[in-house]
Structures are given as structure tokens and as C-alpha cells.
């Protein structure tokens, strides 16, 4: 089923001579299939086709788009073990994780299908003409959200399904009416191709225009750079490192016509331990955090990389229990030797900083590509002064900061870069004493968690997955949940446009029966 070729609309193409293989980190060997990187000509073909497809796809009804999205979900499920096995061979992740992530991916597609089938998401606003208004008559104005055009999607290595080929960015962009060109992640090119095949089959079965979806292979950054600079590309969805996201954001900003780049990037997800919570539950929270830090080999963007508390015996109990606990957890495989090498180097760099003490670490030799989890401690003053300690170590590592007092804790929180999440561990009657700290944390993050762990991102309308830069490049949007669709649309107004020429969403009769704002009142009534 895997061809190693590029999917340009519904054609397969492999014109280039740069080839590569994916890697199985568990067996420490290359996988068999060979992938051919897309050439500049193939990039042109995919973007031109997407641009043509947009002319039709932008007008396709919500019901038809829903059928397409549901068909993608069905085709992904129909891949069954073939997909699960390739996923595992390219990531070292277990079967349960593969199936869980597949369920999430399918669930996201069906959520967007439901949203666009219902149709009210376009935020239709109608202010009918008032010809008799004095001193000036009012014109007829109608507004709704419309898709912006072909979108390029970059997925992250750590979510080959849910944040990749048919992940949240692709599902939300297709739902909005934008064609998608995926720049396939080189580490899971096989998983990506199988999902691309599912999308292509779904597109053909549901009569979508050719070019509504393409999947381009690449082993380096050039294909992605060329795509982002292509004048017919109108937006970018990116999930990955701060360095990658920022590079693409800058590239898009330098285009003659700059375009939006919605990059969801790294985060250290600060966790604040308030004193009373530790008085009673230091040990139990330490055990919970040993699991959270090592979950998925620490390869989650919501991994708790920074734990902040005020110096006390109870904080010491938390640290010693966490240290004892984390080394009892069996080391696990990382996604790829490169990620393993980056983890090892970045962890060592943090551990080697002045005044940093490693309090727990797996020191015995582990299997190739397996992570040796570690926890380190530093004082608040050093942390404040040393920016290296604020950087993400992608993998199972957490730094605990012992603050001198609440004022230092607040100063540290205020000094942090933007984050996806912030967590408060507190007794309920305690948190109000620390309003300033909670406020400082809220200013720095996209989501605050009370007495829990940051790992685990529920897909729900009320989820905000994003945050102030560099957690994301635009804190006004979410990458998870139905509002993710808003990244790919723009508001568009019609003035005095004849009723029969208006899109169905704005016609007097309200044929779609959607909820609209008419004369400032929400209603499903016809005009």
C-alpha cells in the first residue's frame, strides 16, 4: 500500500532523486520503504491544483464537506492494523497509544463534520436595509466567515496522527473550505502516506475537486520553505519546535503578500506548588508528577518541565518522593535518534548550569534510543538570572525551582515566556492568598489547571490549546477544538447584494436554518 510517492491531488508522483527511509527506534534500524522527496515542479503542481480546487471547494455545502470528513474518518479506520503497525514501526510508541491517537483523529474529523453540517459556525450577521431611515437611509449589510485559500500543514513528530496528515489542522482547514497541502513529516512518512491515501479515497468517493488535498514528502526543510513562500498558499498550520515555527513565521512575514502562520510550538508548562497543598499531599502529588513527567517518554508539548515552590520541608518531601519515584519507572523508547540526541544534549546543558543539582536520574545503561529520565533542582535567584534554564527539554526531564518566598515565585512566573499551560496545586482555601501569582500565571499561559497535571488535552469546544508567544504565534486562536476552524477564515461583507446571489447562509429565507444575528438579535427565522 505504501508507494513512497507524493500525492498530488489524486495522482502519484515521484520525479525527484532525493530519497529517504523512516527509522524504527525500537529495533534501531531503518524501515524498508523508500520515500521520494517532492521536487519544485511537484510543489508547483500541488499548489496550482489546490488553487484551482479552491474555486469549487469554497462553495461546497456544509453537508457535502461533512460527508467528506466522515469518509476520511471511515477510511482511516478501514486501514486498521496496517496503519497501527506502520505507526509503531516509525515511532517506537505502543499499540495502545497508536489506537488512542487514531480515535482522537477520527473524533476530530467527525466533530468538524458535525459543525459544518449544522452550519451556524459561519457567524452570519444581517442588518437589512432601512430605506426610510433619516437623515440617511441604511444600506443592506450581511457578513459571514469565508475560507482564505490553500493551506500548508506541517505536523509534529510526536503526534503522527492527531497533529499530522489528517490531524486537527487539516480537519479544521478542510471543514472551513480550504484545500490542504501537507508537508509530510520525514519521521513518519509511511503513516503519513497511509493517511493521505485515506483522504484521497474519501475525496474521490464524495466527489471533491481534484487537488483538495496533497501530501508532499520531504527529508529536510526546503520543501516546507518553498511551500510557505508560494504566492498561491494563503495560510500555514504548524506544530513543532519553536525554532521551526519561528523560521516559517518569519518566512511568511517576508513574502510580498504576508500570510498567517498558526504555529503551535514548545512549552515548559510551569506547575506551582502552594505550601498548604504540600503540607498534606506532598507525597501523593510527587507520585502523580513522576507519571506525568514520564508519560509518553515526556514527548508531549504539555509535559511539565518546570515545577515551582517556596522553600520548605514539605517541598523537600515532594522533591525526595518525586526523585525516588521517577527512577522506579522503566525507561522508555524515544521517537527517533535525533530527538534522543537533542534530549540528551539539552538535559545535560540544563544539568550543567551553575547551582543546578540533579536529584534523580537513571544512570544505568539503557537500550539504544531509550531516555534516562531525570529531575534537577535550582534556587529561584539562579533561575531568574539564567535564561538557558527557561528552555524546553523535550523528553522526560523536569526542573524544580526552590523560591525564597512568594515574591520571588511571582517574579519568576512573570519572567516566563508564553506557555501552553500553567498548573496550580493548592488547597481550595489557600489560593486566594496568592492572587498576584495566579494572575501572573494566567497572563503567561493559554490554559490554567487546578490540582491536576498539564498532560492530556481534551478535544472539546471549551479547550484552548495555544497561548502567548512562543507557545503559539497567535494567542487569539486554538489548535484544538471546534474553534480551530477560525484560523482559516476571514470575515466578508456583502452590501446591497441581490438575495438570489447571496450564499445560502445569508439569504432572506435562511434555507440552511442556521442561527444568525439579524438586527442584533440571534434567530433562525427567515427575514
Closest CA to 383 of 359, 360, 413: 413
Q: What CA–CA distance (Å, rounded) separates 86 from 106?
A: 17
Biggest alpha carbon–alpha carbon distance for the chain: 84
Q: Which is nearer to ligand NAP, 60 or 156 (CB)?
A: 156
d(CA 29, CA 380): 43
Q: Which is nearer to ligand NAP, 153 or 315 (CB)?
A: 153
Q: Distance between CA atoms of 205 and 480, rounded to whole angstroms?
A: 27
- Containing 76, the helix (H) or strand (E) segment is helix 62-91
Question: Given CA atoms 81, 85, 87, 92 in this order, what sign does their dihedral have?
Answer: positive
Which lies closer to ligand NAP via its Cβ, residue 274 or residue 477? Answer: 477
Alpha helix positions (H), 369-445 = 380-385, 406-415, 435-444
Q: Toward ligand NAP, which CB reaches closer, 261 or 518?
A: 261
Q: CB of 39: closest distance to ligand NAP in angstroms? A: 15
Would you call 405 exposed, middle or buried from its count of C-beta atoms within 10 A (0-12, 13-18, 19+)? exposed
Least distance CB 393 / ligand NAP (angstroms): 10
Nearer to ligand NAP, 200 or 239 (CB): 239
Shortest gap between Cβ of 443 and ligand NAP (angstroms)? 19
Closer CB to ligand NAP, residue 248 or residue 310? 248
DSSP code for 221: S
Distance of alpha carbon 162 from alpha carbon 458, whole angstroms: 12
Least Å distance between CB 22 and ligand NAP?
12
- Minimum distance between the CB of residue 461 and ligand NAP, rounded to whole angstroms? 17
Interface ranges with ligand NAP (CB under 6 A): 154, 156-159, 163, 183, 185-186, 218, 220-221, 224-225, 239-241, 244, 247-248, 264-266, 301, 339, 392, 394, 420, 465, 479
Torsion sign, CA atoms 378, 382, 387, 390: positive
Under 8 Å between Cβ of 307 and 399: yes
3-state secondary structure (DSSP) of residue 423: strand
Q: Is 102 helix (H, G, I), strand (E, B) or coil?
A: helix
Instruction: Return the bridge partners of 237, or none.
Output: 153, 262
Q: How far apart are CA 252 and CA 242, in angstroms?
A: 15
Q: Shortest approach of ligand NAP to residue 84 CB, angstroms?
A: 20
- Considering the complex, what minimum distance in angstroms separates the CB of residue 395 from ligand NAP? 10
- For residue 241, the minimal CB distance to ligand NAP (Å) is 3
Q: Cis bond leading into 132, ω under 30°?
A: no
> Angle at which helices 406-415 and 435-444 pack, to 10 degrees?
10
Summary count for the chain: helices (H), strands (E): 13, 23
| Phi, psi dihedral angles at 295 (to 5 degrees) | -55, 130
* Smaller CB separation from ligand NAP, 350 or 506: 350
Q: Which is nearer to ligand NAP, 185 or 487 (CB)?
A: 185
Closest CB to ligand NAP among residues 91, 323: 91
Comparing CB distances to ligand NAP, the nearer of 244 and 380 is: 244
C-alpha to C-alpha distance for 146 and 475, rounded to whole angstroms: 21
How large is the C-alpha radius of gyration of the chain? 25
What Å distances lie between residue 266 and 157, 203, 237, 252, 299, CA to CA?
12, 33, 15, 20, 11
Q: Please check whether residue 183 is in contact with residue 227, taking contact to mean a CB–CB distance below 8 angstroms.
A: yes
328 CB neighbour count, 10 Å cutoff:
8
Q: How many CB atoms lie within 10 A of CB 231?
A: 11
Residues with catalytic function:
264, 301
Do 14 and 4 touch, CB atoms closer than 8 A?
Answer: yes
The least distance separating ligand NAP from the CB of residue 213, rounded to whole angstroms, comes to 17
CA atoms within 13 A on the CB side of 389: 29
| Closest approach of ligand NAP to the CB of residue 18, in Å | 11
Amino acid at each position: 500500500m505504501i508507494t513512497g510517492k507524493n500525492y498530488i491531488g489524486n495522482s502519484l508522483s515521484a520525479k525527484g532523486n532525493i530519497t529517504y527511509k523512516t527509522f524504527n527506534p525500537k529495533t534501531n534500524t531503518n524501515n524498508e520503504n523508500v520515500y521520494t522527496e517532492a521536487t519544485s515542479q511537484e510543489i508547483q503542481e500541488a499548489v496550482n491544483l489546490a488553487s484551482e480546487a479552491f474555486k469549487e471547494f469554497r462553495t461546497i455545502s456544509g453537508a457535502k464537506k461533512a460527508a467528506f470528513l466522515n469518509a476520511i474518518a471511515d477510511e482511516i479506520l478501514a486501514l486498521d492494523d496496517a496503519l497501527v503497525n506502520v505507526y509503531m514501526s516509525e515511532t517506537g510508541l505502543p499499540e495502545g497509544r497508536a489506537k488512542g491517537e487514531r480515535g482522537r483523529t477520527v473524533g476530530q474529523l467527525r466533530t468538524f463534520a458535525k459543525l459544518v453540517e449544522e452550519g451556524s459556525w459561519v457567524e452570519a450577521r444581517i442588518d437589512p436595509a432601512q430605506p426610510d431611515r433619516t437623515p440617511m437611509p441604511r444600506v443592506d449589510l450581511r457578513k459571514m466567515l469565508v475560507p482564505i485559500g490553500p493551506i500548508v500543514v506541517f505536523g509534529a513528530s510526536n503526534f503522527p496522527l492527531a497533529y499530522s496528515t489528517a490531524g486537527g489542522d487539516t480537519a479544521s482547514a478542510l471543514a472551513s473550505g480550504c484545500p490542504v497541502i501537507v508537508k509530510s513529516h520525514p519521521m513518519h512518512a509511511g503513516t503519513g502516506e497511509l493517511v493521505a491515501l485515506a483522504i484521497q479515497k474519501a475525496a474521490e468517493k464524495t466527489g471533491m475537486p481534484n487537488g483538495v488535498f496533497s501530501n508532499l514528502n520531504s527529508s529536510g526543510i526546503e520543501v516546507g520553505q518553498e511551500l510557505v513562500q508560494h504566492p498561491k498558499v494563503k495560510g500555514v498550520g504548524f506544530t513543532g519546535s519553536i525554532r521551526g515555527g519561528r523560521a516559517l513565521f518569519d518566512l511568511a512575514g517576508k513574502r510580498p503578500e504576508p500570510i498567517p502562520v498558526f504555529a503551535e510550538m514548545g512549552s515548559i508548562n510551569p506547575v506551582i506548588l502552594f505550601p498548604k497543598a504540600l503540607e498534606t499531599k506532598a507525597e501523593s502529588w510527587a507520585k502523580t508528577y513522576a507519571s506525568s513527567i514520564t508519560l509518553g517518554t515526556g514527548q508531549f508539548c504539555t509535559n511539565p518541565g518546570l515545577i515551582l515552590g517556596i522553600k520548605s520541608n514539605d517541598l523537600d518531601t515532594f522533591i525526595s518522593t518525586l526523585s525516588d519515584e521517577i527512577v522506579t519507572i522503566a525507561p522508555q523508547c524515544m521517537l527517533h535518534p535525533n530527538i534522543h540526541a537533542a534530549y540528551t544534549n539539552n538535559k545535560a546543558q540544563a544539568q550543567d548550569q551553575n547551582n543546578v543539582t540533579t536529584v534523580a536520574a537513571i544512570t544505568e545503561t539503557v537500550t539504544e534510543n531509550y531516555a534516562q529520565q531525570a529531575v534537577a533542582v535550582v534556587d529561584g535567584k539562579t533561575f531568574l538570572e539564567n535564561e538557558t534554564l527557561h528552555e524546553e527539554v523535550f523528553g522526560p526531564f523536569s526542573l524544580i525551582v526552590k523560591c525564597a518566598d512568594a515574591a520571588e515565585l511571582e517574579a519568576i512566573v512573570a519572567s516566563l515566556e508564553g506557555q501552553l499551560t500553567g498548573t496550580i496545586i493548592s488547597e481550595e482555601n489557600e489560593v486566594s492568598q496568592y492572587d498576584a501569582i495566579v494572575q501572573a500565571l494566567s497572563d503567561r499561559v493559554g490554559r490554567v489547571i487546578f490540582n491536576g497535571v498539564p498532560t492530556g488535552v481534551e478535544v472539546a469546544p471549551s479547550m484552548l490549546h495555544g497561548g502567548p508567544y512562543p507557545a503559539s504565534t497567535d494567542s487569539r486562536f486554538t489548535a484544538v477544538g471546534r474553534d480551530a476552524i477560525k484560523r482559516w477564515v476571514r470575515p466578508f461583507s456583502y452590501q446591497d447584494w441581490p438575495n438570489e446571489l447571496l450564499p445560502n447562509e445569508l439569504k432572506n429565507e435562511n434555507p440552511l436554518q442556521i442561527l444568525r444575528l439579524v438586527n442584533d438579535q440571534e434567530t433562525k427565522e427567515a427575514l
